[in-house]
A and B are shown apart, each in its own frame.
Chain A
Amino acid sequence: MAPKAQKKPQGKQMAKSSAPHKPKNSAINASRLMKYSRARIFQRKAAYKVKKVKTPAKKSAEKAAAAAFVVKKIGGDKNGGERKVYKKTPKSLPTQVASRKVQLRPKKTFKKHVRRIRSNLAPGAVLILLAGRHKGKRVVLLKQLESGLLLVTGPRKLNGCPLRRVSQRYVIGTKTRIDISKVALPERLNDAYFRRQRSAKKSAASAGGSADIFAKSDAAYAVSAERREDQAAVDKALMGAIKASGDGPMLRSYLRSLFSIKSGQRPHAMVF
């Protein structure tokens, strides 16, 4: 028989404890069974003393529902005498209230997805690009954008890689770091800035408007003035940071060189 628990003064005398939460119930041997049943826990927590607070939210919901229609009187016998006239026709007028399945974990839209970054990729890290136009080049990581893609630059002066987005999946993060705390990135560098521009004609055609399908696609990609401006600004700051770092001249030639696997090198055993 378990000894009787000592009654502690409750209610007014019980101050709000700042002690860490000690759950009264616990699982038995890592199974789904709990030590105390629901009824028992109700007693132990003295939950009968806790007054339930009515949520006022229901009232506002009712009000909103009431405002959606107007009650109008109609003539004639035996037809109720009243009709609810909806101000805005609702999408459906169900005869039964559909039971909503409670979504404990609703589907997350892409915007709300958690963006992770590999632990060895920090701003200022030198990355090796493994795919794409600039594969093999060693570039500097500037930051991670909101979409999760990495913003990198050559610097363009050293290896021709411009300010560019890159997926971290196609990248090897090296241990080499450059201190870019003094490098101020332009505010406008975000995902929208780097988004591909579709020509107006094409977008009209896709929207269903009549467009000449034999019309030549727009001229080749031309670098915008703001791109040039941002590239120059970032490059200047970054070259300064490279110069200031310990191994300036070596770093420069390092970033100019291309990465390749030589005979006898085993990537899985190499430290990058």
Chain B
Amino acid sequence: MGKLDKFIEVGRVAFIANGKDSGKVCAIAEIIDQNRVLIDGPCSGVRRQVCDMKRLHLTRFCIDLPHSARTAVVRRKWTAAKLDEKWKETSWAKKLEARRLRTNMSDFDRFKLARAKQIRNSIIALAAGKIRKEAKAKPNALRFRKPNKKRHIKKE
């Protein structure tokens, strides 16, 4: 179990994981009961609606909202807290963006990616080859071997 540091509370910024509006962030405006909350994301295109807690993944952001704040208030607090930029900077959002780019790659994009990987790997291989060659040239130099390993010694 992870740290219990993120709570469902009024003002908590949550990520909607599935169903309608999945992939968007919103703020919790009110807690209805044990399972449901009222969410609102005017800056992220989420309409004010009831949402099941199970759909929400909590972020570490929390804005100062009075409970049952109306949409205009949520918008004001959200923009004041600059949550759009803060969310984009998180590695969570970056990973989502990377995944989105990857799935939307066209056939040509996939080709370019494969070609770029190939070029990068050939550069790495060349450099590694050079290092290996230099290491071989030095007789007593530290070789790429594990110490204290039993080695088969050639009979001379």
Chain A residues at the B interface, C-beta cutoff of 8 Å:
126, 128, 138, 172, 174-176, 247, 250-251, 253-254, 257, 259, 269-272
Interface size class of B (residues with CB under 8 A): under 10
Which of B3-11, B13-21, B108-116 participates in binding chain A? B108-116
A271 touches B106 (CB 8 A): yes
Which of B103, B106, B108, B115 gathers the greatest number of chain A CB atoms within 10 Å? B108
Choose one: A172, A175, A257, A271; the contact of B111 (CB below 8 Å): A257
In the complex the two chains form, what is the Cα distance from A219 to B112 in whole Å? 44
B104 lies within 8 A of chain A by Cβ: yes
In the complex the two chains form, what is the Cα distance from A174 to B110 in whole Å? 12
| 9 cross-chain pairs, A with B, having the tightest CB-CB distances, nearest first | A175-B106, A176-B108, A174-B107, A272-B107, A254-B111, A271-B104, A254-B108, A271-B106, A250-B112
Interface of A is mostly: mixed
How far, in Å, is B153 (CB) from chain A's closest CB? 42
In the complex the two chains form, what is the Cα distance from A269 to B106 in whole Å? 11
How far, in Å, is B108 (CB) from chain A's closest CB? 4
B107 touches A259 (CB 8 A): yes
How far, in Å, is B145 (CB) from chain A's closest CB? 34
A271 touches B108 (CB 8 A): no
In the complex the two chains form, what is the Cα distance from A12 to B109 in whole Å? 69
A175 touches B108 (CB 8 A): yes
Interface of B is mostly: helix
B105 lies within 8 A of chain A by Cβ: yes
Can you list 29 A-B contacts with CB-CB less than 8 angstroms, sorted by A residue number? A126-B107, A126-B108, A128-B107, A138-B107, A172-B107, A174-B106, A174-B107, A175-B106, A175-B107, A176-B106, A176-B108, A247-B112, A250-B108, A250-B112, A250-B115, A251-B108, A253-B111, A253-B115, A254-B112, A257-B111, A259-B107, A269-B103, A270-B107, A271-B103, A271-B104, A271-B105, A271-B106, A272-B106, A272-B107
Q: Which residue of A lies closest to B106 (CB)?
A: A175
In the complex the two chains form, what is the Cα distance from A247 to B108 in whole Å? 10
**Chain B 73-132 interface residues, beta-carbon cutoff 8 Å to A:** 103-108, 111-112, 115
In the complex the two chains form, what is the Cα distance from A269 to B104 in whole Å? 10
How far, in Å, is B8 (CB) from chain A's closest CB? 34
Which B residues touch A138, using CB under 8 A? 107
How far, in Å, is B111 (CB) from chain A's closest CB? 5
Which B residues touch A270, using CB under 8 A? 107
Which A residues touch B111, using CB under 8 A? 250, 253-254, 257
In the complex the two chains form, what is the Cα distance from A176 to B112 in whole Å? 12
Which A residues touch B106, using CB under 8 A? 174-176, 271-272
In the complex the two chains form, what is the Cα distance from A125 to B94 in whole Å? 32
How far, in Å, is B62 (CB) from chain A's closest CB? 36
B103 touches A176 (CB 8 A): no
Which A residues touch B115, using CB under 8 A? 250, 253
Which of B105, B107, B112, B115 gathers the greatest number of chain A CB atoms within 10 Å? B107
